[in-house]
Structure 1
Amino acid sequence: MSLSKIATLLLSSVSLVAGHGYVASIEVDGTTYGGYLVDTYYFESDPPELIAWSTNATDDGYVSPSDYESVNIICHKGSSPGALSAPVAPGGWVQMTWNTWPTDHHGPVITYLANCHGSCADVDKATLEFFKIDAGGLIDDTDVPGTWATDELIEDGYSRNITIPSDIAPGYYVLRHEIIALHSAENLNGAQNYPQCINLEVTGSETATPSGTLGEALYKETDPGIYVDIWNTLSTYTIPGPSLYTAGSAATATSATTAAATTTSAATTAVATTAAAVTSTAAELEASTQTRVTTSESSAPTPASDDTSQLNQGDADPLDGNSAPATTTTTVVATPAASSESSPSSGVLSGACSQEDYWYCNGGTAFQRCVNGEWDASQSVAAGTVCTAGISETLTISAASTRRDSLRRHLARPKRH
């Protein structure tokens, strides 16, 4: 066992005393609302009416992967809808503030929306279909166990800001906000989910109605972002759950990583869905066969486009043509397969597909995935990268012409969401 793992196990005993935490305060478009204070309100005969959902998890405990197919995973154990809803405009913002969070409980922070199709005060939670609107995962893995979205949440006063997509149709929605702690996730059933829910009323006159996923189908205990050892250097990390929805996109695909990892043997496979990652030193640029990855998704607008090749999403680093370029190529083992759907030569695919989770690279410049029996929205590969054309079980993306000094500057700059 590593020294860092031993140290964290010792710190965990302190964390158990301090408690894991819950959302104590919510700010919606500048108005502050109280969270469900489970250590207080659960024991009161007449607790206040809130936008927050109640729960009977008085121990500040978690939902384990063995409970992923139960209603407990939706809005926590014994949860019931809040009586009120907070109005928010499309493109507005929500700040979720936790009362505390243990420093050793590293992992992703994820937020979803689900349309109640009527009042959320009496909605059947088992019928809610969630689409992901914000997520942060692994930010930097230079030092094990790395820097995670939970570390940023702690640094930001136990808070995370979430932007409501600007095209969402008006109506009543449940916002599901969640931390997944991965400090014991190297063991099957070792991840810890801490879901928290609130009710929103989206105003305006927009028209988007993204498709979603039932809460009991969001995760599997063997998902690569759930069953993962953060105590070893990670070459890639996949944020669990469906793909991120942004205004104008489709929200049906499997969760995406923001970079690809090279393989060290022909038996190892890796998925790259946005850009090829770069290595962190000049020596690695010359000879390394493994890249570092950071994963962070957000629906908030950023200066850079979603498909730029970068270490942290939203950080643009234009390269000029000076000096000799270095070349980094992502190599993965792909399993081509025939398809009964549209031919790759026909351009963007749409409609039904039969090869679940297979990828389609359209002419080397864009990609899609077969999810829930349908092709998801087409996404462009990053500038300076190409994917291997055709339909296959694993997507292959290659990057070239990366200037060394620009990479050093890029890797040296810390970035925040």
Structure 2
Amino acid sequence: MKYISSLLLLAATVQAHYRFPKLIINGVAEAQEWISIRQTKNYQTNSGVTSVTSADMRCFQNKPGTGTATVAAGDTLGFVAAASISHFGPVQFYMAKVPESADINTWEAAGNVWFKAASISAVGSPLTSSASTWPAYQKSEVEFVIPKATPSGKYLIRVESIALHQASSVGGAQMYLSCAQVQVTHGGNGSPKPLVAFPGAYNANDAGLRWSYYPIATSYTAPGPPVWDGN
């Protein structure tokens, strides 16, 4: 009986969390998981990252990449959430340009190489824990547009969903993330900035990581740098 109860608890825990195993290109999702997305450590458990000082904050990867998708600057890219984004909070998209001399499958993306390409954050006031405040909440897909000024080249694209349901205390926020490998074509001449590092971009005491909508919250600022302005 205890064994059955443990299995049921594990199943409930997995269902309450999520992962991002498929890339979406202009509305079309990849047919299988982990094609151009590096398999993450939570591929079986769906658990999140809770330490902002962990190297898992980069790509949470379980193994090196195996495939690279070809996209164009200005394309709409997205990630499938399996089964859905089941915790409220912001979703952010970062990009890091792979050096020409590096292998995209094994490049670690350490140091100040990441820029924020887009953010889906809180809207309205007062703020609550519902989808009316958090547009990405309960969605099975999240998307953004690659800025047209993004230079051509190979990139890691990092999706990050920050779950805030336990964020009233330090270390309570949970990060669900993964990295896609892409080749950007028809790029522009922009200079993406500011560049940040993972770990390093966030502090556990950041207002966007230690936050509660109770008793009444009227504002929320997602952690990390501002979104690149496309210039």
TM-score (norm 1): 0.48
Which of 159, 162, 165 lines up with 2:144 in the alignment? 162
1:72-87 matches, within 5 Å, as 72-76=56-60, 78-87=61-70
Whether 1:210 and 2:184 are equivalent positions in the alignment is: no
Q: Aligned partners of 1:226 and 1:164: how far apart in 2?
A: 26
Q: Aligned partners of 1:165 and 1:196: how far apart in 2?
A: 20
Give 2:134's aligned residue.
148
Say which structure is richer in helix.
1
RMSD in angstroms over aligned alpha carbons? 2.3
Q: How many residues align?
A: 216
Q: Provide Cα deviations, 1:102-143, integer angstroms capped at 9, x if missing partner.
A: 64x110011110001133112123246111111111123447
Please say if residues 25 and 32 of structure 1, whose CA atoms lie closer than 8 Å, have aligned partners that are also in contact.
Answer: yes
Q: Provide Cα deviations, 1:201-228, integer angstroms capped at 9, x if missing partner.
A: 1111422231311111121100001011
Give 2:220's aligned residue.
237
Whether 1:111 and 2:109 are equivalent positions in the alignment is: no
Deviation at 1:172, TM superposition (A): 0.3
Deviation at 1:81, TM superposition (A): 3.5
Question: Cα gap change, 1:14/1:143 in structure 2, threshold over 3 Å: closer, same or farther?
Answer: farther
The 3-state SS of whatever aligns with 2:158 is strand
1:20-35 matches, within 5 Å, as 20-29=17-26, 31-33=28-30, 34-35=32-33
Q: Aligned partners of 1:129 and 1:203: how far apart in 2?
A: 19
| Letter paired with 2:196 | T
Q: Aligned partners of 2:27 and 2:145: how far apart in 1?
A: 13
1:210-359 matches, within 5 Å, as 210-211=192-193, 212-248=195-231
Q: Aligned partners of 1:102 and 1:122: how far apart in 2?
A: 28
Q: Provide Cα deviations, 1:275-331, integer angstroms capped at 9, x if missing partner.
A: xxxxxxxxxxxxxxxxxxxxxxxxxxxxxxxxxxxxxxxxxxxxxxxxxxxxxxxxx
Task: Give structure 2 stretches of 5+ with no counterpart.
Answer: 1-9
| Letter paired with 1:52 | I
Please say if residues 54 and 79 of structure 1, whose CA atoms lie closer than 8 Å, have aligned partners that are also in contact.
Answer: yes
Please say if residues 72 and 79 of structure 1, whose CA atoms lie closer than 8 Å, have aligned partners that are also in contact.
Answer: no
Specify which structure has the bigger relative contact order, considering alpha-carbon pairs within 8 angstroms and separated by 6 or more residues. Answer: 2
The 3-state SS of whatever aligns with 2:110 is helix
Q: Aligned partners of 2:127 and 2:12: how far apart in 1?
A: 22
Give 2:39's aligned residue.
54
Deviation at 1:23, TM superposition (A): 1.7
Q: Aligned partners of 1:136 and 1:205: how far apart in 2?
A: 24
Q: Provide Cα deviations, 1:342-362, integer angstroms capped at 9, x if missing partner.
A: xxxxxxxxxxxxxxxxxxxxx
Give 2:6's aligned residue.
none
